Structure formats: C-alpha cells, structure tokens
Amino acid sequence: MSFADGLFINMCKDILENGVSTEGEKVRPKWDDGSSAYTIKKFCVVNRYDLSKEFPAITLRRTAFKSCIDEVLWIWQKKSNNVKDLNSHIWDSWADEDGSIGKAYGYQLGVKHKYKEGEMDQVDRVLFDLKNNPYSRRIMTNLYVHQDLHEMNLYPCAYSMTFNVTDNKLNAILNQRSQDILAANNWNVVQYAVLLHMIAQVSGLEVGELVHVIADAHIYDRHIPIIKELIERPTFDAPIFHINPEIKDFYEFKTDDFSLENYQFGPQVKGIPVAV
C-alpha cells in the first residue's frame, strides 16, 4: 500500500465515523434534481506528504495525471481564467458565454503588484524570492481577494500556498477552504505535488513536504456508498514520478514533461453525482 492510499483510507474512515452531518442545515450546493446536497464533514483535516519519498497518487482508482497537470498549468503558468485555454471541460459549468470564470484563479495570479524590486505578479514574486531570498518567511500566494469575489463565478477552494525552504528543501502548505473528498482530494494533492516539483527544480532546490490543510473536508451524502466501496479495494505500490530535468524555466514546462512509471490502479468510479 502506498502512503497516499493509507492516508486517504484513514481520512475517509475518520470522516465517516467521527464527522458531523449537515443534514437539515441551510446548505448552498444542490443535486441535479434540486434537492439539497448534504455532507458528513470534519473541520481542519491536515495531511502531510513527503514528496522526496513518494509521489502521492492514490492507487485505489486512477487519478487523471495529465488533466491535473493541465489545470495547474492553466492556473499557475498561463494565469488564465478562460476555459478555452484548458484542455478538459471540468470548468465549463462555471464559465460564461465567452469562456471566462471571472476574476478567479489564474486571473489573480497574473495581476501585477508593486514591490521594492519592481512590478511582479504573484507567481513571479515566488520565483524571484526563491532565487534571491530563499529563506524568507514571506513567500506565499493568495487567490482569495475579497474585493474581487463578486466578480468570481466560483470562490477559490484551494486559495493559498505558503512556501518555505528548510535545509535546501522546498516545502509548501496548500490551504483549502472546502473540499469534496471523493471528487477532488487526490486531484488537488497530485497537481500541487507536481507544482512543488516544478518550482523546486527551477529554483535549484530539492523537493520536500506538501502539507494540505482542508478547513471543511466533506463527503457528500450520495458519495458515501462509493467511498465505502473505494476504501475497501486492493492497493498497489506508489508510482514513480518523472519530470524533465532539462527544464530550468517555469514557463517552459508542458504536460509531456511529466510522467508516472508503474502506475497501477483499481477500476474507475463511474457516474459520480456532482453537487453544484
């Protein structure tokens, strides 16, 4: 069993056994039939992944590796808020007729700000500091910009990254206000693990820990039987992660620069109901 599998299984069991139901409360999400989408939730789940030891893709089912990377490049590299720049259709329901999701996600990372060293957006500020002042305790990004929330078609879920260099290893904390554990947990873990590898490589650092902090970690009521079946499946060893070692510029990475070797996994879960 991989570390990521064990962590995921234990997290799901803890939510199911010790979580709090929102049934009967006033909740925003709805199912396609218009009924309220209730959850079992736990407050502030914290998961740690040592990326120097293992790549955290679960093997209980396949996590769509290339699609994860495509989305993280869309946000962090292209700094786009338009689904026409994305190869998947996961954001289509949040886009307007022009493809925009409003002033959300990539848009915020692309806004330039004034610093003593000149104008930079948030991504370039991170890259600048890791090159010039790697032991700074101020290296972070934030997508939850209050004055722009009314112009976002969806408030950011994974909203903040804090980077920290310790003993020449790049570590990061991913803060997430809310997460659908079945649909999004390992998706987010995989894509931010890849992001940490990318930034570490172009900054001349080794990769360290990814710490994932989830304020509201929840399993939707209609996902409970799926989760129960999923966590009883056989597991496999963690896959081996490969990144193109020739890339030294963050903006030159492509999806083909990453691969997973020996990625074994269980059957796909089909027909997952999605609350919106």
Report the CATH number at residue 248.
3.30.572.10
Q: Domain for residue 118, yes or no? A: yes
Q: Is 188 annotated as a binding residue?
A: yes
- Number of structural domains (the chain) is 1
Q: Domain for residue 275, yes or no? A: no
Rounded average pLDDT over 71-94: 94
Q: Domain for residue 268, yes or no? A: no
Q: Is 48 annotated as a binding residue?
A: no
The mean-pLDDT minimum among 13-27, 88-102, 162-176 falls in 88-102
Q: What is the pLDDT of residues 213-263, one digit of tens each?
A: 999 999 999 999 999 999 999 999 999 999 999 999 999 999 999 999 999
- Total-model pTM: 0.96
Residues of the domain holding 80: 3-261
Give the burial string for 63-89 (b: 16+ CB within 10 Å, else e). Answer: bbbebbbbbbbbbbbbbbbbbeebeee
To the query of whether residue 157 is one of the catalytic residues in this protein, the response is: yes
**155 CB contacts (<8 Å, ≥6 apart)?**
104, 144, 149, 177
Catalytic residue among 12, 44, 68, 157: 157
Q: Is 212 annotated as a binding residue?
A: no
- Only one residue has tokens 């991504």, namely 123
Confidence at residue 274, expressed as pLDDT on a 0 to 100 scale: 87
From 253, 233, 229, select the one nearest 243 (Cα to Cα).
253
Confidence at residue 95, expressed as pLDDT on a 0 to 100 scale: 94
Q: Domain for residue 34, yes or no? A: yes
Residues 210 and 53 sit within 8 Å (Cβ to Cβ): no
Q: Domain for residue 267, yes or no? A: no
Confidence at residue 110, expressed as pLDDT on a 0 to 100 scale: 98
Q: Domain for residue 271, yes or no? A: no
Q: Is 125 annotated as a binding residue?
A: no
Q: Is 77 annotated as a binding residue?
A: no
- Provide the sign of the torsion angle of the four alpha carbons 87, 91, 94, 100, taken in this order: negative
Alpha-carbon distances of 87 from 91, 157, 158, 242, 256, rounded to whole Å: 10, 21, 20, 22, 14
Rounded average pLDDT over 61-78: 97
Q: What is the pLDDT of residues 29-50, one digit of tens each?
A: 999 999 999 999 999 999 999 9
Rounded average pLDDT over 189-194: 98
**67 CB contacts (<8 Å, ≥6 apart)?**
87, 88, 90
Q: Domain for residue 272, yes or no? A: no
Asked whether residue 270 carries a pLDDT value surpassing 90, the answer given is no
Q: Domain for residue 254, yes or no? A: yes
Q: Compute the mean pLDDT over every residue in the chain, rounded to the nearest whole number.
A: 97
